[in-house]
Amino acid sequence: MVATLNDLLRQVDQRQDELLSLVERLIRYETPAPPARNTEDAQQFIASFLEEKGFSIDKWDVYPGDPNVVGVLKGSDSSSYKSLIVNGHVDVAEISEDEEWETGPFSPVLKDGFLMGRGASDMKGGLGGALFAIQLLREAGIELGGDLTFQSVIGEEVGEAGTLECCKRGYSADFAVVVDTSDLHIQGQGGVITGWITVKSKKTFHDATRKRMIHAGGNLFGASAIEKMMKVVQGLQDLERHWAVMKSYPGYDPGTNTINPAVIEGGRHAAFIADECRLWITVHFYPNETYEQVSKEIEEHILRVASADLWLRENPPLFEWGGTSMIVDRGEVFPSLEVDPEHPAVKTLMVSHGDVTGEQAIVGVSPTVTDGGWFGDVGIPAAIYGPGNLENAHAVNEKVSIEQLTHFTKVMLKFIYQWCNTKK
């Protein structure tokens, strides 16, 4: 079997044109999000691809026009051998009309050792490489002892968490690999949660009454919600600075945990005192924190700020956290993910990486977020490992190194074989 596996690794080089053709085909499917609702054709291609390889297929709409696809290949002895989920998202970053691509973003081209096209790095390169690895294993008639599950999900670019829907549907395994952009580093991640903070007056006043509510002797207990929100913003800045000093995590620069006041909406008309103001914030937190924990910290701090203000004490800020879609309800959650370097699957992946690349695997943390946190959130050990780098993700003329894509495919081929034939 070792000889057969080595032969398959050589085939990745010999059949590199097929690998590139598969990734190019995925790129040609126009799946930017936003606008989203455009992944049906790409997902049907992936479903058919997996079905031809012997996978049982589960395909369902998360949103109309945006289905998830899960393929399951049962192992020869599922109760005795380790199981694996390979996960990736089929949506890609949005395209602006004024972007100057050398060719069309969905017309992939090979140039100077790179494959260029939207999604090459984030993350159709990872999807295509993993699919090609599976193809080679199946063509060789290699049986896996444990179950192999392939998840092609929607919505990652806009916080629609197709991966969460897979978890809710009951899919689980002994380990999961998210083949998202990581430059072939084995990574965990911090998390992100968005939230709305609302300051709202119980009464609405004409702007002619302003002089009575801001000067002594005016005898009107009122305030502008916009001006009171300024105190909330200041409170958030104070907490952010406190976090930068009091919290840290290996691999992250101090102060990576941020609270960004991203959007503010308030007031109804120039003839009124603003009776409502809403602040949309984005919070980044560390891998050893949860979104429930950090949102609670923010609420407690801001309510202490409010208690020191006469008006806010009577009209305390309201909080709304997360959401299921940046498109539908303007909110998202990306849970954090810690990677255990001593986990047997991580060690197996490290060995596979070293054997293929000749370099020691780097285990670290991603400076951005992926769907990987949802696995950690439901108790499935996981890691991010994929081709491409963040300098190219979402970029004009996005590209991935052909050499790195080939290395990734070999690593996944070897890792899938070794992990799914590891005794429980």
- Give the percent of the chain with pLDDT over 70: 99
Give, for 72, the enclosing helix (H) or strand (E). Answer: strand 66-73
Task: Say what the pTM is.
Answer: 0.95
Start and end residues for every CATH 3.40.630.10 domain found in the chain: 2-189+337-420
Alpha-carbon distance of 418 to 5, in angstroms, equals 10
| CATH dotted code for 2-189+337-420 | 3.40.630.10
The pLDDT assigned to 1 comes to 64
| CATH dotted code for 191-321 | 3.30.70.360
Alpha-carbon distance of 396 to 373, in angstroms, equals 27
Known catalytic residue at 91 = yes
Length of the chain: 424
* Predicted confidence band of residue 3 (pLDDT cuts 50, 70, 90): low
Alpha-carbon distance of 348 to 342, in angstroms, equals 10
Spot the catalytic one: 66, 91, 180, 371. 91
The set of residues, in sequence order, having a beta carbon less than 8 Å from that of 53 and lying 6+ positions away, is 71, 73, 134, 135, 138
* Predicted confidence band of residue 217 (pLDDT cuts 50, 70, 90): confident
Start and end residues for every CATH 3.30.70.360 domain found in the chain: 191-321
The pLDDT assigned to 307 comes to 98
Known catalytic residue at 156 = yes
User: What confidence tens digit (pLDDT) does each residue in 114-164 have?
Assistant: 999 999 999 999 999 999 999 999 999 999 999 999 999 999 999 999 999
The pLDDT assigned to 2 comes to 66
Spot the catalytic one: 24, 147, 156, 165. 156
